[in-house]
Amino acid sequence: MHHFVFISEQNDFPVPADPKRARTGLKRWLSAAESTADERPGKVSRAAFDNPSLNRFLSGVFGNSPYLARLAARQPETLLEILENGPDAAFEAIIADIGHYRTQPEKSDGPGRFLRIVKNKVALITALADISGAWNLTSVTAALSRFAEAALSLATAHLLRRAAADGAIELAHEDAPERDSGLIVLGLGKLGGRELNYSSDVDLIVLFDAGRIRTRDREALQGQMARLARGLVRLMEERTADGYVFRMDLRLRPDPSSMPPAISVRAAETYYESLGQNWERAAMIKARPVAGDREAGGEFLDRLKPFIWRRNLDFAAIRDIHSIKRQINAHRGGGKIALNGHNVKLGRGGIREIEFFTQTQQLIWGGREPSLRAPGTVQTLRALAAGGQIKPEAARDLIGAYEYLRRTEHRLQMVNDEQTHSLPVDDAALNAFALFMGYARGAGSTVFANDILGHLRAVERHYARLFEKAPDLGLPETGNEPNAVSGNLVFTGGEPDPETLHTLEGLGFTNAATVDTVIRGWHRGRYRAVRSTRARELLSELMPAILKALGAAPDPNEAFIRFDEFLSRLPSGVQLFSMFHANPRLLILLVKIIGLAPRLSEHLSRRARVFESVLEPGFFDPLAATKTIALELTEDLNR
């Protein structure tokens, strides 16, 4: 009898949601293995097929994931290697292959096809290790992150060699193109924290240190580095017959709508020192060099430490951190937890709330407590509990929920290699997914529902206690018109929040994506009026009322455009925003003026103090007769 290291006496495997698909997947894999030139894969696969434990395990995989069934049929030898030698050995062989590829002569078409083939192998290895229970969450995400880092490094080295061959730069080390290259690739988010998802974007910031780069054309350097960054994105995410490597996201860089894809370290440092926001501090907590000139990347992050880790936070900074949370739930009570269709990442009680809970505590306490500067979510929660910043119960509940929800997220993505975070909407599909999660048929669906809802509600409970004494986002109510908005209004981070787009559409904006982009520009200090921390803090608190007032205009889209123009001409925003905060009716009046009298709104944008006259007693009284006005004007001029 053939011995298989991977599966021995384990019996706790998912049952197939679709037994017919499971049988088809097994037959296709067996046929593919027997069709190879070497006889051995066919014999070993037949032995695996006849092994009761392996047959049951593979049926659970193929009967729940069409994607994994396709991968197994496409790469039968990879599956056999996992079954015979275990996932650890199979994965280390992949990393060794990447290292060997680096030593080979440069190929004309680059490493694109090679990386796509090994990515498919890694996807199969990590999925089977996860589903079988051979790897825990930490091992799965660490392996995915390690592969991403190796792939990015190989791609970056190739692009640097090509740039040198074209005469754009000179390499300091021909055998190690990344070393002393001056090109910095920072991994952020889950890659930075070594917590990469099964099927997720890779968040990067590409920088360059002009002083380290050898080039004969300094003036062309910015354009050359931008082209290199675009080449990296294309090499990694372009879809071919072999698939793709990773989806790339460069939107966490400073002001992505106006900045090029590669930024000089000097420009980045200037931005963070003058306009960096607290959510960007949170994003940089996990940042680390993952490719390129790692020494230069480490030095850049060292210089950024005073921005990320403030030893003393002033009152305005604390309030700004609070306002980020209040954006996520602009109106308490909105977005109730459901089961069918619930988004386990962005929905209430989801992964984002756990990560936000953790990162805000790091922002507040990490400047004085270096032990809280860990990039990993679970590691940080444990450190917060050990340091007394949060209760042990909170850490236990949040860690348990985080690990469960991340595992759920991975299974959702394994089904069809989709970047999804939402549970199935249909009852039958939800019951099928419960099987993939390892629950039994029938009553197992109820157990799954109770388990996941229990985790979501625990997160919601702890998250609600975070800054629970902070005021709701929005203005006081005026008359019968509530200013609060039901739903999310999140304008931080690098990507649009789906619930925020839905909220904007509900307010009447048909171009919700454009509105979202413009507001993100406000929060990044694009205009003079919003370049101070206090102005952006006030703007965050006013945002629901501003959007509700603009949404009530006859043409919300046009009203928003004119408000943006008004804001762009303001020399300062704190004074006017404070007036709106204290007198909500003024905001409604301004929106009417913007819509009905564009020339007057332009005048007000240049002389905001004129708006204070609205506060004077009698401003809204009927106008006096023309002769009376003329007489009063004459008297004023003669004084």
pLDDT digits (tens, 9 = 90+) for 22-63: 999 999 999 999 888 788 888 888 888 888 889 999 999 999
Tokens of 552: 């009530």
The string of pLDDT tens digits covering residues 209-260 is 999 999 988 889 999 999 999 999 999 999 999 999 999 999 999 988 889 9
- Output the pLDDT for position 588: 84
Domains of the chain: 148-308 (3.30.460.10), 315-465 (1.20.120.330), 498-615 (no CATH)
Does the pLDDT at position 96 exceed 50? yes
pLDDT band at 481 (very low <50, low <70, confident <90, very high): very low
Does the pLDDT at position 329 exceed 60? no
pLDDT band at 473 (very low <50, low <70, confident <90, very high): very low
The string of pLDDT tens digits covering residues 169-181 is 999 999 999 999 9
Residues 6+ apart with CB under 8 A from 26: 49, 55, 58, 59, 62
- Output the pLDDT for position 2: 67
Distance CA 304, CA 301 (A): 5
pLDDT (average), residues 304-314:
82
- Each residue of 592-630: b (16+ CB within 10 Å) or e? ebbbeeeeebeebbeebeebeeeeeeeeeeeeeeeeeee
CB-based contact 146:25 (threshold 8 Å): no
Tokens of 255: 């002001």
Residue 118, CB-side half-sphere exposure with 13 Å CA sphere: 24
pLDDT (average), residues 411-430:
95
Does the pLDDT at position 75 exceed 60? yes
Bridge partners (DSSP) of residue 481 are 478
Distance CA 179, CA 175 (A): 9
Q: Which alpha helices (H) appear in 238-350, and where do they start and end?
A: 265-275, 278-284, 294-308, 315-328
- Output the pLDDT for position 144: 98
Instruction: Judge residue 267's burial from the number of C-beta atoms within 10 Å of its C-beta, 0-12 exposed, 13-18 middle, 19 or more buried.
Output: middle
> Which comes out higher in pLDDT, residue 8 or 282?
282
Three-state DSSP state, 313: coil
- The region of weakest confidence among 106-115, 231-240, 512-521, 618-627 is 618-627
Distance CA 72, CA 63 (A): 13
Percent of the chain at pLDDT > 70 equals 89
- Output the pLDDT for position 23: 95
Distance CA 272, CA 266 (A): 10
- Output the pLDDT for position 274: 84
pLDDT (average), residues 535-545:
84
- Output the pLDDT for position 618: 64
pLDDT band at 442 (very low <50, low <70, confident <90, very high): confident
* Amino acid in position 630: A
Distance CA 46, CA 443 (A): 34
Bridge partners (DSSP) of residue 202 are 248
Distance CA 251, CA 259 (A): 10
Instruction: Judge residue 308's burial from the number of C-beta atoms within 10 Å of its C-beta, 0-12 exposed, 13-18 middle, 19 or more buried.
Output: buried
DSSP string, 581-621: HH-HHHHHHHHHHHHH-HHHHHHHHH-GGGGGGGGSTTTTS
pLDDT band at 594 (very low <50, low <70, confident <90, very high): confident
